[in-house]
Amino acid sequence: MDEKAHEALQVKKYADITFTQTGTATAQLSGTKFSTTVTGTLTISGKKQKVNLRITGDTANGQLKVSGTANLKMTDFGIDPPKAMLGAVKSGDAIKVNYEVVLK
């Protein structure tokens, strides 16, 4: 079903998933670690959706590392969940986006 999911998400046309922050965020800091929620626009398969992403981060070792997981639905982005075998096999609507950004 991975191939069908890639087709539904149009990964050949839209290889990247992007997030643009639209609001400010205040982090709770504990040593070098922090956490916050960031509001912005997530673009998947060329479709945009406003989301709140919970992130955790660390500023140790002279770098900034931010990571998190977003549990989403394909239909929220106008994407029909993939089917196979003439509809006899259907995937769920849920998708999970894991992200990690490291700035040195």
Q: Which domain holds residue 71?
A: 2-103
- The b-or-e profile of 28-59 (16+ CB within 10 A means b, else e) is eeeeeebebebebebbbeeeeeebebebebee
Give the global pTM: 0.75
Percentage of the chain modeled with pLDDT above 70: 89
Number of domains in the chain: 1
CATH number for the domain spanning 74: value is 2.40.128.110
Each residue of 10-47: pLDDT tens digit? 788 988 889 999 988 889 889 999 999 999 999 988 99
Average pLDDT, the chain: 86
**pLDDT at residue number 97:** 87
Higher pLDDT, 79 or 35: 35
Res. 95: pLDDT tops 80: yes
